[in-house]
Structure 1
Amino acid sequence: MVAIFGGLDKDSYDRQYTDTYLLKRIFQYFKPYRKQVFWTVVGFLVVSVTSALVPIFIADGVRILGQNNQDVLLILMVVLLIAAFIQYGANWMRRYLLSFVVGNVVSQMRKDAFAAAMERDLAFYDNHKSGKIVSRITSDTQEFGDVIVIASDVISLLIQVLMLSVVLFSQSVALTLMVIGTLPIIVGAAMFFRWLARIATRQGSRAMATVNDTIQESVAGISVAKNFRKEKFIYDEFVAINNQSYRINMWRGFVLAMVFPVLNGLAGFAIALVVYAGALHVYWANIDVGTWFLFIQGVDRFWFPFINLAALWSQFQQALSATERIFALIDADNTVIQTDKKPVGQLRGKVEFVNVTFGYSPDQPVLKNFNLTIHEGESVAFVGHTGAGKSTIAKLITRFYEFQDGQILVDGRDIRTFDLQSYRARLGIVPQQPFLFSGTVRDNIRYGMPDATDEEINDIAYRVGNGEWLETLPNGLDTDVGERGARLSMGQRQLVSLMRVLLEKPAIFILDEATASVDPFTESQIQEALHLILKNSTSILIAHRLSTVRDADRIIVLKEGRIIEEGSHEALMAQGGHYAELYNTYFRHQSLEYVENAKMMFAQPEILMGDAS
């Protein structure tokens, strides 16, 4: 089993619930549909009663055959026909209502799981693959619904067992006790398959989640794979994971396939025992032939529910494993914890870090006893090598991550006391990799303000370069951006992201500037959009462009999570410290002086050739 299930470790947020807890929690999803559930149960009862009466009527028919009473036999046949029609109608009603209820329950469960996924903080997604989360929301909820529809038949079967037990006891206590006496064998076998099936189904769900994750990651990164000619590598990796899923599903299928043969064999032993014992009782005149025939039919109908119960129990364990994974996602803990939900109101935009300590792993702090004050309306550019802590500061202000110690104050108020949705509504955020959703440019600008009118969006779009940037789009604001904005250039995506922020008019603006180069025209449009935002907001800029750095009111130089220099561009260059080193490494080639010198050098190749000679 280790060879089959190896490499499918549970996620850190997975939990193991008791069956009782899972059933109680599942019941809460069915409570809003009490009326439909009631009529579904009525349908179950009618089906069970009619199914239980059929062998009794047939047994009576066997007795009547011995009496040669054709009129009573005809009446009995009509009664059996009516019972069949009633059974069909009741069965249709209960299946229709059950499908309605289960469909709504699965839909609500899926909504709750998706809402939980949206509520998880970024630290959660740093540690868990999105494909596996998607699998819980889609595959596991669907599996739960499918199994519930099948397992609902157990209720009808158990009702039949109870009714048959009463009838059989009334006919022969000895034979009935003999039938019930073999029940522990079936129950023991069912419990064994329950244990085996729970292991197989839980690992099967994890394997399917891994397959889904691999497919999602491969499709999302297909352009990179093609650039590096890694199609075969990705295919081989998928085949390996898919083969592992295949082996697990084969094992699960083997477990489930064992149920019916084993239980049918045990039931066959019980039937043979009843046939032999019943024949003796008929011979001894303790019962008549009709009763004996009733027991022969009854023992099959008595054991069939238990055989199905054991088989369906394995599938029911599959449903419980699925719900266990769904509820684990819903119950997962966030690391970002708000101590209160105070309304934010209007923000002026003053930001203070007071002895803040933070690390993505608690034992590896990125910031330690960090202190900083950003004044209202001030624009601050953060510069430093990769890993210096620039993006970390922005993520802490936005409450995407929880800091371990200290305070972050906005307008003198602890951000942990804010209503998080209200607070983030006062922030304007442009990430390093601008993300656009499928739809038009207009739809994406309106994303943060769904109630904005077309006139407001037009006004924002034409405030930047009098709308010249729209002329580069085939249909202007109604241009379809494609999946993730694939039909737009990186610069155009940045512009659309900045338009979103312009429309929101945030108190605090956070820009993690893209590192990709853009053409001069788009660059000028981006800078104009930035100026419009900077003059009305407190701005935190993780800068990668020289123009952005120079336009900032203050430049803060970070190294290993510490502020080592701060001031204006001119003052820092005059110091000749770390900023000057960063300038020569990252920014100098963007300066006009550098570009002009490069032009002169390449315009005089004969000078270079002369020097070489």
Structure 2
Amino acid sequence: MGFIMEGLDAEAYDRTYSDGHLIKRIIGYFKPKLPLMITITILIVFNAGLDTAFPLLVSNSIDTLSSTHAFQTAVIIVGFILCSSVLSWTCNLFRQRFTARSVGDVVLHLRKDAFTAVMSRDMSFFDEFSSGKIVSRVTSDTESFATVVTLTLNLLSQVLLYVLIVVVLFFRNYQLALMTLTIMPAIIGVALGFRVVARRFTRRAQRSLARVNSNVQEIVSGITIAKNFRQEQNMYDEFKQINAQSYYVNLRSGFLYNGIFPVLVFIANIGTTIIVYFGGHSVLGGVISAGEWFLFVQSLSLLWQPLTSIASFWSQFQLGLAASERVFALLDAEPRIQQTGHETVGQIKGEITFKQLLFSYDQRQTVLKDFSLTIKAGETIAFVGHTGAGKSSIGKLISRFYEFQGGKILIDGRDIRTLDLAQYHARLGIVPQSPFLFSGTVADNIRYARPTATDAEVYAIAQQIGNGDWIEALPEGLETLVGETGRSLSMGQRQLVALARVLLQDPAILIMDEATASVDPLTEAQIQEGLDVILKQRTAIVIAHRLSTIKHANRIIVLDGGRIAEEGSHEDLMRRGGHYSDLYNTYFRHQSPDYKPGEGFIPVRDPNMQAPSTR
């Protein structure tokens, strides 16, 4: 049991909705389709009426066999039966066609809403939850949502047919009608009892599918690393276990769903036996005619079908409800980024002020505590420190990807929480250490920052990075295909494309998670030339890993445990011989042009300098 249920827990943002709430929200999506739904309803009523007429016509034809005009009457009735069958088939055809169109439109709308919800989630959401499971909700679950709608419309037709048949039966013989309905409470009771168990099994099946999708996506994304370390077998074994879990979960669901149908058919057959026995005695006793008796026997299948269908297809019904529940949970997930206003951003000078900032990722370990700093407009600031010191967190908070728990961040004196995020992000440029490129050409990826840019503008921007020498190294220049995630290009080429993309955006504030950390010296020189262009007249936040970037900064901020240990220029901090000096000797000294292997560096403390700052 532990193996089967492992990893199938609900996500933190999942919610449990009642069937009534889910159906109400589903109906809300169909409101714009009201005229089409009215047409479908009319066709359902008409189709149910024609299906009801069929056993009545057969019953009347049986009673007229003994009359003097039996042949003529039989021909007329047969004609009516054929006409009703053709009309019923025609109504059903148009009903199915209109249903498919309306359901397709609603699924299209729901999928758009789900995708919009994903795009509006902040970065912490994607850090916490698997991207594969999120994709499963947008694709598989929205598709399963259509099942519950189509099934509901089909059942509506059958329920309406059920009501009409019951009315006819009571009109013809209320005693046999009451006998017919004696089994109905048993069928309803079994169906409702099955409903509770079915929802639980269906949720597990959906989660197991999402887990399979997530695992496959992770394997495909990391296939290069897997092959490099020869871990294909381990990855296969992991997938095999997850796939086996999905198999067993669906197997248990199948046993449940397939087991309920024979039970309901058995109960319905008991009702059929009662009608056949007592109805036959009534015919022999002259209480009812043979046609009426046949009407009851013929109506039994129509009478039990809606009830047995609700239960036998309850797996699909619950699948649709569970899918809609998962999609609605995604739509209703509370955003962690809380904006208190949506002020127009306008032009940004780029001054950034942190006031007694408090930040934690998980509410357990504080990353930044009482953090205060002012970055002047146009200033280039390099943040250095050991892993976990809070360097990247500062960049993420300026980007408004995460919510801070206390203090303020001011942009040109305005609280960042009052700004319109879309406008603010348009004035913010980000260059990650490992840039992501979309499938397409190099030009397409540069133009991603400004889709309206012309080819000439894209080429002019690309020429400003490293004097354009890197373009000549591309097989087809800017029209070179980058491949999935940019795999056709080297890491350095991807970084140059990312720099050109940011330059085309022309942001007021630039955040860089060291663009030269994973490239060769030649490419580093080209990137550094590009940085010289990009950093002009912009406020730049640099997460530093390279000495060349640090030395170009106007100010270096040394972080230790989420606090500012020191700040100043490279030369000033080296003369102090404090925390930065230790970091330099550990991480940056070997990058100096005058460094000789085996030669240490001992900073000389200036006696006139004050002790290192510890604020």
Which band: TM-score by shorter chain? over 0.9
Q: Which residue of 2 aligns with 1:142?
A: 143
Q: Which residue of 1 aligns with 2:533?
A: 532
Give, in whole Å, the separation in 1 of the partners of 2:14 and 2:142: 16
Give, in whole Å, the separation in 2 of the partners of 1:515 and 1:459: 23
* Contact residue 490 and residue 516 of structure 1 kept, 8 A: no
Give, in whole Å, the separation in 2 of the partners of 1:57 and 1:221: 67
Q: Which residue of 2 aligns with 1:113?
A: 114
SS of residue matched to 1:541 = strand
412-421 or 567-576, which deviates more: 567-576
Deviation at 1:514, TM superposition (A): 4.2
SS of residue matched to 2:14 = coil
Deviation at 1:519, TM superposition (A): 2.6
| Per-residue deviation, residues 567-603 of structure 1 (Å, max 9, x unmatched) | 11111111111111111121111111016999xxxxx
SS of residue matched to 1:594 = coil
The one-letter code sitting in structure 1 at the alignment partner of 2:594 is E
Q: Which residue of 2 aligns with 1:518?
A: 519
Give, in whole Å, the separation in 1 of the partners of 2:143 and 2:300: 36
Q: Which residue of 2 aligns with 1:590?
A: 591
Q: Which residue of 1 aligns with 2:5?
A: 5
Give, in whole Å, the separation in 2 of the partners of 1:456 and 1:597: 49
SS of residue matched to 2:358 = strand
Alignment of 1:21-32 (within 5 A): 21-32=21-32
The one-letter code sitting in structure 2 at the alignment partner of 1:58 is V
Q: Please say if 1:296 is aligned against 2:314.
A: no
Deviation at 1:67, TM superposition (A): 2.0
Q: Which residue of 2 aligns with 1:376?
A: 377
Deviation at 1:517, TM superposition (A): 3.4
Deviation at 1:151, TM superposition (A): 3.7
| Per-residue deviation, residues 305-324 of structure 1 (Å, max 9, x unmatched) | 21112223342121111100
The one-letter code sitting in structure 2 at the alignment partner of 1:42 is I
Q: Which residue of 1 aligns with 2:34?
A: 34
Deviation at 1:363, TM superposition (A): 2.3
Give, in whole Å, the separation in 1 of the partners of 2:498 and 2:574: 32
* Contact residue 354 and residue 408 of structure 2 kept, 8 A: yes
Give, in whole Å, the separation in 1 of the partners of 2:265 and 2:396: 62
Deviation at 1:71, TM superposition (A): 0.4
* Contact residue 48 and residue 160 of structure 1 kept, 8 A: yes
Structure 2: which 5+ residue stretches go unaligned?
A: 600-615
92-101 or 452-461, which deviates more: 452-461
| Per-residue deviation, residues 470-501 of structure 1 (Å, max 9, x unmatched) | 01111111111110010111111111111111
| Per-residue deviation, residues 227-266 of structure 1 (Å, max 9, x unmatched) | 1111111101111111110001011111111122111100
Deviation at 1:352, TM superposition (A): 0.3
**Percent identity at matched positions?**
51
| Per-residue deviation, residues 313-350 of structure 1 (Å, max 9, x unmatched) | 34212111110000001111111100000111111100
SS of residue matched to 1:67 = coil
Q: Which residue of 2 aligns with 1:47?
A: 47
Q: Which residue of 2 aligns with 1:444?
A: 445
Deviation at 1:521, TM superposition (A): 2.6
Deviation at 1:449, TM superposition (A): 0.9
Q: Which residue of 2 aligns with 1:553?
A: 554
Give, in whole Å, the separation in 1 of the partners of 2:4 and 2:125: 28
Q: Please say if 1:269 is aligned against 2:270.
A: yes
* Contact residue 383 and residue 543 of structure 2 kept, 8 A: yes
Give, in whole Å, the separation in 1 of the partners of 2:387 and 2:473: 34
Alignment of 1:143-182 (within 5 A): 143-182=144-183
* Contact residue 460 and residue 499 of structure 1 kept, 8 A: yes
The one-letter code sitting in structure 2 at the alignment partner of 1:513 is E
Q: Please say if 1:479 is aligned against 2:480.
A: yes
Deviation at 1:406, TM superposition (A): 0.3
* Contact residue 202 and residue 318 of structure 2 kept, 8 A: yes
Between Structure 1 and Structure 2, which shows a larger proportion of helix residues? 1
| Per-residue deviation, residues 411-443 of structure 1 (Å, max 9, x unmatched) | 110000000111111111111211111111111
SS of residue matched to 1:563 = strand
Q: Which residue of 1 aligns with 2:612?
A: none
Deviation at 1:285, TM superposition (A): 1.8
* Contact residue 509 and residue 540 of structure 1 kept, 8 A: yes
Deviation at 1:66, TM superposition (A): 2.4
Deviation at 1:279, TM superposition (A): 1.5
Deviation at 1:505, TM superposition (A): 1.3
54-63 or 573-582, which deviates more: 573-582
SS of residue matched to 1:72 = helix
The one-letter code sitting in structure 2 at the alignment partner of 1:212 is N
Alignment of 1:139-538 (within 5 A): 139-514=140-515, 516-538=517-539
The one-letter code sitting in structure 2 at the alignment partner of 1:29 is Y
The count of aligned residue pairs is: 598
Give, in whole Å, the separation in 1 of the partners of 2:282 and 2:519: 96
Structure 1 length-normalised TM: 0.96
Give, in whole Å, the separation in 2 of the partners of 1:2 and 1:468: 59
Give, in whole Å, the separation in 2 of the partners of 1:131 and 1:365: 29
* Contact residue 513 and residue 541 of structure 1 kept, 8 A: yes
Give, in whole Å, the separation in 1 of the partners of 2:275 and 2:537: 90
Give, in whole Å, the separation in 1 of the partners of 2:597 and 2:197: 75
The one-letter code sitting in structure 2 at the alignment partner of 1:187 is I
Structure 1: which 5+ residue stretches go unaligned?
A: 599-613
| Per-residue deviation, residues 368-398 of structure 1 (Å, max 9, x unmatched) | 0000000011100001111110000010011
Deviation at 1:3, TM superposition (A): 5.6
SS of residue matched to 1:159 = helix
The one-letter code sitting in structure 2 at the alignment partner of 1:409 is L
Give, in whole Å, the separation in 1 of the partners of 2:351 and 2:467: 32
